[in-house]
């Protein structure tokens, strides 16, 4: 079934598909050579896996999907109230309609559970935010074992003056691959504020498309990936400023150790007539091993006249002078490295107001940059 995944996942014509997947083609081809069976939607989640998402802060506000399918057993939505309408009647499709007045976060958990053979699941979600300000937490976890390939396509619409906060934490075993494709449309004076942490996984591809359709619409995306082993993460942002006075602020960090590979592609288009747009993109990366690779590509296309735009991308190593400073104060090399890598990633999450989320994200990244197994 060679090349079929590229055909399936890619959009546009053959050349555009190739271009969009150029750094992940090999990883995708390797996946394509496997024969997948359908994943088990009835799988029972083991206790350690459940412990990863059973947070006290989201009790009664949790929707759990096992291999893409909604799980009545593991979900608990008792505290979500009437402002949220959940429709999961269609197989592996979720529709969330949120009216103003929903309090507290909504926790979506996608659990990957392997069967004996390589398996696949595909799911879609639709989120409609009509008003107010809502926090959605999207978590991806998995059990180690045979390969699992999940595909999640999300379609988000944020109504006028509403603000959607999304925090996604993806922490996958090296046998799980995940392709997430999110499209968000943001209406006038509305905001989409996203925070992402990506660790682990065999292949994690994350496409984020955003259309700032209404005047004064705003998109914020702060994220980091931390990779090691042969992990592979590929993040693609495609932000379109369509209406006037729209703003985006994209700040991503990448860390790659050992033989891992990270890709960041950040494209911002300011359409003709979208005057007053403010587009900011910053992507900084740390390479911790001569065998790791990071490719970063900021792309800014401007067709409007009055635009404020800035972008910058760097790939570097840990600063020798800073490491020496820390060591001269008594910190062993490994501790000094860990401290600097942690700080490098953390800097994008300082704006996160929920302390428990920030702590979870920091813990997630810290665990992945710890010295165990981390090559110098």
Partner 1 sequence: MEKFPVMLKIENLHVRVAGKEILKGISLTVKPGEVHAIMGPNGAGKSTLGNVLAGRDGYEVTQGTVEYDGRNLLELEPEQRAAAGVFLAFQYPVEIPGVNNTYFLRAALNAQRKQRGEAELDSMQFLKLVREKLAVLQLKDELLHRAVNEGFSGGEKKRNEIFQMALLEPKLAILDETDSGLDIDALKRVADGVNAMRAPDRAFVVITHYQRLLDYIVPDVVHVLADGCIVESGDKSLAHKLEEHGYAWIAQRQMPGQSRAGAV
Minimum distance from residue 337 beta carbon to partner 1 (Å): 12
Minimum distance from residue 374 beta carbon to partner 1 (Å): 18
- Cα 204 to Cα 28, 149, 207, 358, distances in angstroms: 10, 10, 10, 22
**Three-class SS of residue 47?**
helix
Report the residue number, 301 or 335, with the smaller CB distance to partner 1: 335
Report the residue number, 236 or 360, with the smaller CB distance to partner 1: 360
Minimum distance from residue 320 beta carbon to partner 1 (Å): 7
Report the residue number, 272 or 343, with the smaller CB distance to partner 1: 343
Hey, what are 195's tokens? 């925070």
Minimum distance from residue 342 beta carbon to partner 1 (Å): 8
Report the residue number, 189 or 318, with the smaller CB distance to partner 1: 318
Beta carbons of 152 and 68 less than 8 angstroms apart:
yes
Convert residues 27-66 into a mask of x (bound to partner 1 by CB under 8 A) and - (unbound): ----------------------------------------
| Nearby residues of 35 by Cβ (< 8 Å), 6 or more positions away | 1, 117, 118
Report the residue number, 69 or 313, with the smaller CB distance to partner 1: 313
Q: Which of 223, 361, 323, 330 is nearest to 283 (CA)?
A: 223
Minimum distance from residue 290 beta carbon to partner 1 (Å): 17
Does an H or E element contain 85, and which?
A: strand 84-87
Report the residue number, 160 or 342, with the smaller CB distance to partner 1: 342
Q: How many residues interact with partner 1 (rule CB under 8 A)?
A: 23
| Measured distance CA(375)–CA(273) in Å, rounded | 50
The torsion defined by the Cα of 358, 201, 54 and 162, in degrees rounded to 10, comes to 50
Convert residues 276-315 into a mask of x (bound to partner 1 by CB under 8 A) and - (unbound): ----------------------------------------
| Measured distance CA(357)–CA(354) in Å, rounded | 5
Minimum distance from residue 349 beta carbon to partner 1 (Å): 10
Minimum distance from residue 309 beta carbon to partner 1 (Å): 24
Q: Which of 195, 188, 261, 251 is nearest to 228 (CA)?
A: 261
Report the residue number, 178 or 197, with the smaller CB distance to partner 1: 197
Convert residues 310-349 into a mask of x (bound to partner 1 by CB under 8 A) and - (unbound): ---------xxxx-xxxxxxxxxx-xx--xx-xxx-xx--
362 binds partner 1 (CB under 8 A): no
Q: Which of residues 194-213 bind partner 1 (CB under 8 A)?
A: none
Minimum distance from residue 321 beta carbon to partner 1 (Å): 6
Report the residue number, 44 or 343, with the smaller CB distance to partner 1: 343
| Measured distance CA(73)–CA(44) in Å, rounded | 9
Report the residue number, 325 or 356, with the smaller CB distance to partner 1: 325
| Measured distance CA(184)–CA(208) in Å, rounded | 8
Angle CA(57)–CA(59)–CA(60) in degrees, nearest 5? 135
Minimum distance from residue 352 beta carbon to partner 1 (Å): 14
Tokens 């996942």 map to which residue?
A: 9
| Measured distance CA(220)–CA(198) in Å, rounded | 17
| Measured distance CA(347)–CA(25) in Å, rounded | 31
Quote the distance between the C-alpha of residue 41 and its chain's center. 23
Q: Note the residues at the interface with partner 1 (CB under 8 A).
A: 319-322, 324-333, 335-336, 339-340, 342-344, 346-347
């Amino acid at each position: 079934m060679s090349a079929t995944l590229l055909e399936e996942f890619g959009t546009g014509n053959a050349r555009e598909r190739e271009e969009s997947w150029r750094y992940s083609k090999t990883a995708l081809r390797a996946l394509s050579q496997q024969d997948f069976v359908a994943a088990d939607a009835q799988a029972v989640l083991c206790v350690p896996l459940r412990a990863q998402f059973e947070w006290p802060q989201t009790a009664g506000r949790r929707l759990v999907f096992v291999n893409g399918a909604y799980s009545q057993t593991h979900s608990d939505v008792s505290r979500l109230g009437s402002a949220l309408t959940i429709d999961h009647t269609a197989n592996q499709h979720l529709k969330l309609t949120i009216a103003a007045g929903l309090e507290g976060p909504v926790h979506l958990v996608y659990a990957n559970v392997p069967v004996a053979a390589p398996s696949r699941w595909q799911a879609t979600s639709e989120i409609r935010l009509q008003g107010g300000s809502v926090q959605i937490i999207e978590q991806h976890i998995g059990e180690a074992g045979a390969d699992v390939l999940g595909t999640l396509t999300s379609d988000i619409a944020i109504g006028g003056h509403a603000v959607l906060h999304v925090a996604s934490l993806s922490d996958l075993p090296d046998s799980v691959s995940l392709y997430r494709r999110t499209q968000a449309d943001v209406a006038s004076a509305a905001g989409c504020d996203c925070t992402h942490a990506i660790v682990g996984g065999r292949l994690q591809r994350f496409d984020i498309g955003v259309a700032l359709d209404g005047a004064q619409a705003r998109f914020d995306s702060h994220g980091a990936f931390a990779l090691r082993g042969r992990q592979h993460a590929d993040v693609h942002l495609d932000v379109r400023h369509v209406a006037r006075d729209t703003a985006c602020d994209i700040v991503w960090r990448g860390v790659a150790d050992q033989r891992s590979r990270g890709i960041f592609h950040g494209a911002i288009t300011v359409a003709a007539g979208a005057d007053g747009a403010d587009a900011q993109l910053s992507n900084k990366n740390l390479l911790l091993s001569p065998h790791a690779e990071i490719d970063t590509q900021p792309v800014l296309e401007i067709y409007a006249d009055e635009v404020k735009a800035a972008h910058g991308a760097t790939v570097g190593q840990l600063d020798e002078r800073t490491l020496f400073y820390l060591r001269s104060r008594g910190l062993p090399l490994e501790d000094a490295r860990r401290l600097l890598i942690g700080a490098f990633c953390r800097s994008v999450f300082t704006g996160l107001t929920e302390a428990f989320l920030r702590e979870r994200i920091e813990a997630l990244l810290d665990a992945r940059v710890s010295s165990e197994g981390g090559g110098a």
